[in-house]
Amino acid sequence: EPEVTQTPSHQVTQMGQEVILRCVPISNHLYFYWYRQILGQKVEFLVSFYNNEISEKSEIFDDQFSVERPDGSNFTLKIRSTKLEDSAMYFCASSEGASGGDTQYFGPGTRLTVL
Amino acid sequence: SQKIEQNSEALNIQEGKTATLTCNYTNYSPAYLQWYRQDPGRGPVFLLLIRENEKEKRKERLKVTFDTTLKQSLFHITASQPADSATYLCALDDSGYSTLTFGKGTMLLVSP
Protein backbone atom coordinates (compact mmCIF):
# COMPACT_ATOMS: atom_id res chain seq x y z
CA GLU A 1 0.00 0.00 0.00
CA PRO A 2 1.40 3.44 -0.89
CA GLU A 3 2.52 5.54 2.04
CA VAL A 4 3.93 8.93 2.89
CA THR A 5 7.58 8.82 3.88
CA GLN A 6 9.57 11.38 5.83
CA THR A 7 13.26 11.93 6.46
CA PRO A 8 15.03 12.18 8.76
CA SER A 9 13.17 10.42 11.52
CA HIS A 10 14.98 12.51 14.12
CA GLN A 11 16.79 15.82 13.65
CA VAL A 12 18.78 17.53 16.36
CA THR A 13 19.87 21.11 15.76
CA GLN A 14 21.20 24.13 17.58
CA MET A 15 18.98 27.15 18.15
CA GLY A 16 19.28 29.61 15.26
CA GLN A 17 20.22 26.97 12.70
CA GLU A 18 18.23 26.19 9.58
CA VAL A 19 16.62 22.79 9.13
CA ILE A 20 14.92 21.17 6.18
CA LEU A 21 12.45 18.39 6.76
CA ARG A 22 11.70 16.17 3.80
CA CYS A 23 8.61 14.29 2.72
CA VAL A 24 7.67 12.09 -0.20
CA PRO A 25 3.87 12.20 -0.57
CA ILE A 26 1.84 9.42 -2.15
CA SER A 27 2.54 9.59 -5.86
CA ASN A 28 -0.91 10.38 -7.31
CA HIS A 29 -1.84 12.85 -4.57
CA LEU A 30 -2.11 16.53 -5.41
CA TYR A 31 -2.49 18.17 -1.99
CA PHE A 32 0.22 18.27 0.62
CA TYR A 33 0.25 19.37 4.21
CA TRP A 34 2.50 19.92 7.19
CA TYR A 35 1.32 19.53 10.74
CA ARG A 36 3.24 19.62 14.00
CA GLN A 37 2.69 18.10 17.42
CA ILE A 38 4.48 19.44 20.45
CA LEU A 39 5.03 16.71 23.03
CA GLY A 40 1.83 16.00 24.93
CA GLN A 41 -0.23 18.40 22.86
CA LYS A 42 -2.58 18.13 19.93
CA VAL A 43 -1.71 17.87 16.26
CA GLU A 44 -1.74 21.38 14.74
CA PHE A 45 -2.11 22.40 11.11
CA LEU A 46 0.73 24.45 9.66
CA VAL A 47 0.25 24.72 5.91
CA SER A 48 -1.38 23.19 2.87
CA PHE A 49 0.10 23.23 -0.63
CA TYR A 50 -1.38 22.65 -4.06
CA ASN A 51 -0.19 23.34 -7.57
CA ASN A 52 3.10 24.73 -6.31
CA GLU A 53 1.44 27.29 -4.11
CA ILE A 54 0.45 27.59 -0.49
CA SER A 55 -3.34 27.11 -0.21
CA GLU A 56 -3.81 27.79 3.47
CA LYS A 57 -1.54 28.50 6.39
CA SER A 58 -2.05 28.83 10.11
CA GLU A 59 -0.86 31.54 12.46
CA ILE A 60 1.99 29.24 13.47
CA PHE A 61 3.37 29.30 9.92
CA ASP A 62 5.20 32.62 10.13
CA ASP A 63 8.06 34.03 8.08
CA GLN A 64 10.60 31.58 9.48
CA PHE A 65 8.78 28.72 7.77
CA SER A 66 8.68 27.94 4.07
CA VAL A 67 7.59 25.00 1.94
CA GLU A 68 8.72 23.84 -1.44
CA ARG A 69 8.16 21.08 -3.96
CA PRO A 70 11.65 21.04 -5.46
CA ASP A 71 10.93 18.17 -7.84
CA GLY A 72 8.14 15.81 -8.78
CA SER A 73 8.34 13.72 -5.65
CA ASN A 74 9.65 15.66 -2.66
CA PHE A 75 7.88 18.19 -0.46
CA THR A 76 9.98 20.08 2.06
CA LEU A 77 9.47 22.23 5.13
CA LYS A 78 12.26 24.68 5.93
CA ILE A 79 12.64 26.41 9.26
CA ARG A 80 15.11 29.25 8.78
CA SER A 81 16.23 30.07 12.30
CA THR A 82 15.07 27.45 14.75
CA LYS A 83 13.87 28.33 18.22
CA LEU A 84 13.60 26.11 21.27
CA GLU A 85 9.82 26.14 20.92
CA ASP A 86 10.06 24.62 17.44
CA SER A 87 10.92 21.29 19.08
CA ALA A 88 8.09 18.98 18.06
CA MET A 89 7.08 16.12 15.82
CA TYR A 90 6.46 17.35 12.29
CA PHE A 91 4.07 15.34 10.15
CA CYS A 92 3.66 15.54 6.43
CA ALA A 93 0.37 14.45 4.90
CA SER A 94 -1.08 14.17 1.42
CA SER A 95 -4.50 13.70 -0.15
CA GLU A 96 -5.95 13.20 -3.61
CA GLY A 97 -8.29 16.16 -3.28
CA ALA A 98 -9.09 18.86 -0.78
CA SER A 99 -12.84 18.87 -0.57
CA GLY A 100 -12.81 18.16 3.14
CA GLY A 101 -14.06 14.69 2.48
CA ASP A 102 -10.71 13.56 1.18
CA THR A 103 -8.66 11.39 3.45
CA GLN A 104 -5.30 12.76 4.49
CA TYR A 105 -2.54 10.18 4.79
CA PHE A 106 0.11 11.03 7.32
CA GLY A 107 3.77 10.13 7.33
CA PRO A 108 5.59 8.72 10.36
CA GLY A 109 6.91 12.14 11.33
CA THR A 110 10.24 13.82 11.97
CA ARG A 111 11.12 14.51 15.57
CA LEU A 112 12.87 17.89 15.68
CA THR A 113 14.87 18.69 18.78
CA VAL A 114 16.24 22.23 19.09
CA LEU A 115 18.97 22.67 21.70
CA SER B 1 -13.81 30.54 20.36
CA GLN B 2 -13.72 27.23 18.53
CA LYS B 3 -13.07 24.13 20.60
CA ILE B 4 -12.84 20.39 20.08
CA GLU B 5 -13.01 18.43 23.30
CA GLN B 6 -12.21 14.81 23.87
CA ASN B 7 -12.04 12.96 27.18
CA SER B 8 -8.63 13.83 28.52
CA GLU B 9 -8.49 10.90 30.90
CA ALA B 10 -7.44 7.52 29.56
CA LEU B 11 -10.20 4.99 29.03
CA ASN B 12 -9.39 1.59 30.51
CA ILE B 13 -11.51 -1.36 29.42
CA GLN B 14 -11.31 -5.09 29.36
CA GLU B 15 -10.75 -7.09 26.22
CA GLY B 16 -14.00 -8.00 24.50
CA LYS B 17 -15.90 -4.98 25.78
CA THR B 18 -17.09 -2.03 23.69
CA ALA B 19 -15.08 1.18 23.98
CA THR B 20 -16.94 4.45 23.46
CA LEU B 21 -15.03 7.67 22.92
CA THR B 22 -16.57 11.12 22.76
CA CYS B 23 -15.80 14.19 20.69
CA ASN B 24 -17.62 17.43 21.40
CA TYR B 25 -17.15 20.64 19.50
CA THR B 26 -18.28 24.24 19.81
CA ASN B 27 -18.45 27.10 17.33
CA TYR B 28 -17.89 24.84 14.35
CA SER B 29 -20.20 23.86 11.54
CA PRO B 30 -18.23 21.00 10.03
CA ALA B 31 -19.35 19.25 6.91
CA TYR B 32 -17.19 16.28 7.89
CA LEU B 33 -15.77 14.76 11.00
CA GLN B 34 -12.91 12.30 10.98
CA TRP B 35 -11.40 9.87 13.46
CA TYR B 36 -7.75 8.93 13.50
CA ARG B 37 -5.66 6.53 15.52
CA GLN B 38 -2.24 7.57 16.77
CA ASP B 39 0.33 5.26 18.33
CA PRO B 40 3.18 6.72 20.44
CA GLY B 41 5.78 8.48 18.28
CA ARG B 42 3.84 7.79 15.09
CA GLY B 43 1.69 9.77 12.69
CA PRO B 44 -2.12 9.74 12.79
CA VAL B 45 -3.76 6.93 10.82
CA PHE B 46 -7.14 7.60 9.24
CA LEU B 47 -9.99 5.39 10.45
CA LEU B 48 -13.37 6.79 9.48
CA LEU B 49 -15.00 9.89 8.02
CA ILE B 50 -18.63 10.81 8.59
CA ARG B 51 -20.53 13.53 6.76
CA GLU B 52 -22.96 15.95 8.36
CA ASN B 53 -25.91 14.26 6.65
CA GLU B 54 -24.91 10.82 7.94
CA LYS B 55 -26.02 9.72 11.38
CA GLU B 56 -23.85 6.62 11.57
CA LYS B 57 -20.95 4.99 9.77
CA ARG B 58 -19.49 1.53 10.28
CA LYS B 59 -16.26 -0.21 9.31
CA GLU B 60 -15.63 -3.67 10.66
CA ARG B 61 -15.57 -3.31 14.49
CA LEU B 62 -15.70 0.48 14.33
CA LYS B 63 -18.79 2.66 14.46
CA VAL B 64 -19.06 6.44 14.41
CA THR B 65 -22.10 8.58 15.06
CA PHE B 66 -22.45 12.28 14.31
CA ASP B 67 -25.07 14.48 15.93
CA THR B 68 -24.85 18.00 14.53
CA THR B 69 -27.55 19.22 16.91
CA LEU B 70 -25.65 18.07 19.98
CA LYS B 71 -22.36 18.92 18.24
CA GLN B 72 -21.03 15.53 19.22
CA SER B 73 -19.52 12.44 17.66
CA LEU B 74 -19.22 9.07 19.36
CA PHE B 75 -16.64 6.51 18.31
CA HIS B 76 -17.22 2.88 19.25
CA ILE B 77 -14.90 -0.10 19.05
CA THR B 78 -16.75 -3.36 19.62
CA ALA B 79 -15.09 -6.57 20.80
CA SER B 80 -12.03 -4.55 21.77
CA GLN B 81 -8.58 -6.11 21.69
CA PRO B 82 -5.29 -5.15 23.37
CA ALA B 83 -4.04 -4.17 19.89
CA ASP B 84 -6.69 -1.43 19.88
CA SER B 85 -4.77 0.37 22.63
CA ALA B 86 -3.78 3.75 21.21
CA THR B 87 -4.80 7.40 21.25
CA TYR B 88 -7.85 8.22 19.16
CA LEU B 89 -8.13 11.66 17.62
CA CYS B 90 -11.19 13.48 16.42
CA ALA B 91 -10.63 15.99 13.61
CA LEU B 92 -12.81 18.58 11.93
CA ASP B 93 -12.48 20.48 8.70
CA ASP B 94 -14.41 23.68 9.13
CA SER B 95 -12.58 25.60 6.43
CA GLY B 96 -13.67 23.45 3.53
CA TYR B 97 -10.07 23.33 2.40
CA SER B 98 -9.01 20.22 4.31
CA THR B 99 -7.22 22.12 7.05
CA LEU B 100 -7.87 19.63 9.79
CA THR B 101 -8.27 20.79 13.37
CA PHE B 102 -7.61 17.99 15.82
CA GLY B 103 -8.78 17.32 19.32
CA LYS B 104 -6.18 16.38 21.87
CA GLY B 105 -7.23 12.74 21.71
CA THR B 106 -8.31 10.10 24.17
CA MET B 107 -5.99 7.28 25.12
CA LEU B 108 -7.62 3.86 25.09
CA LEU B 109 -6.08 1.01 27.07
CA VAL B 110 -7.50 -2.46 26.50
CA SER B 111 -6.33 -5.02 29.02
CA PRO B 112 -6.34 -8.77 28.35
Q: Tell me which of B25, B39, B59, B98 to substitute to probe the interface with A (most A C-beta atoms closer than 10 Å).
A: B98
Residue in B41, B44, B51 nearest the CB of A106: B44
Residues A18-59: tens digit of each pLDDT = 999 999 999 989 999 999 999 999 999 999 999 899 999 999
Whether A104 is in a domain gets the answer no
CATH number for position A61: 2.60.40.10
Q: Region A78-88: what's the mean pLDDT?
A: 97
- pLDDT value of residue A100: 65
Q: Which residues contact B99 (CB under 8 A, 6 or more apart)?
A: A33, A45, A48, A56, A58, B93
Residues B35-66: tens digit of each pLDDT = 999 999 899 999 999 988 898 999 999 999 99
Q: Which domain holds residue A70?
A: 19-93
- pLDDT value of residue B3: 85
Whether A80 is in a domain gets the answer yes
Pick B105 or B93 by higher pLDDT: B105
Domain ranges of chain B: 3-111
**B30: pLDDT confidence band, cut at 50, 70 and 90?**
confident
Instruction: Choose which CATH entry (3.20.20.140, 3.20.20.70, 3.40.710.10, 2.60.40.10) describes domain B3-111.
Output: 2.60.40.10
Whether A87 is in a domain gets the answer yes
Instruction: Determine, for residues A101 and B49 on separate chains, whether the beta-carbon distance falls below 8 Å.
Output: yes
Instruction: Determine, for residues B41 and A102 on separate chains, whether the beta-carbon distance falls below 8 Å.
Output: no
Whether A5 is in a domain gets the answer no
Separation CA A25–CA A80 (nearest Å)? 22
Whether A10 is in a domain gets the answer no
Whether the ω angle into residue B112 lies within 30 degrees of 0, i.e. cis, is no
Q: Which residues contact B98 (CB under 8 A, 6 or more apart)?
A: A31, A33, A48, A95, A97, A98, A99, A100, A102, A104
Is pLDDT at A101 greater than 80 in this prediction? no
User: What total number of domains does chain A contain?
Assistant: 1
Whether A74 is in a domain gets the answer yes
